[in-house]
């Protein structure tokens, strides 16, 4: 069982921001910034290294990239935002379905962490 696969399949509700046949973008349940959206490929990859290991994964990363301007448009964060991918245990990844945090809606610190 994978939480984000369940969200993609609609078994668990989410607040959708953008969707097409390849990706889903939805609001993070515990937002760190006024706009906090997660973009996930609909196909399950464990993490970004898993994505990098196949042509299919690389294509899916391109699909995630396509969703970025759509999320920007839908949330009005064209003044700027930050994209974060937490990878594996030391990267702080808690959900093992690759996802990209889009953080915005406020001027973020120039310090990354």
When CB distances are held under 5 to 8 angstroms depending on the partner's kind, the choice from ligand AMP, Zn ion, none that residue 14 binds is ligand AMP
Does position 44 bind Zn ion by CB under 5 A? yes
Q: What string marks each residue from 92 to 111 as x (binds Zn ion by CB under 5 A) or -?
A: -----x--------------
* Separation between Cα atoms, residue 35 and residue 81, nearest integer Å: 9
In 1-113, which residue ranges form alpha helices assigned H by DSSP?
3-8, 48-52, 55-75, 88-91
β-sheet bridge partners, residue 103: 36, 82
> Which residues of the chain form contacts with ligand AMP (CB under 6 A)?
3, 12, 14, 28-30, 38, 86, 92-95
């Amino acid at each position: 069982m994978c939480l984000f696969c369940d969200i993609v399949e609609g078994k668990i509700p989410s607040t959708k921001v953008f969707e097409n046949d390849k990706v889903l973008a939805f609001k993070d349940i515990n937002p760190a910034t006024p706009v906090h959206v997660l973009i996930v490929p609909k196909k399950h990859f464990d993490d970004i290294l898993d994505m990098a290991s196949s042509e299919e994964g690389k294509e899916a990363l391109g699909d995630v990239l396509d969703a970025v301007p759509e999320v920007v448009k839908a949330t009005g964060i064209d003044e700027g935002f930050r994209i974060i991918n937490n990878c594996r245990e030391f990267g702080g990844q808690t959900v093992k379905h690759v996802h990209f945090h889009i953080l915005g809606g406020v001027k973020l610190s120039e310090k990354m962490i």
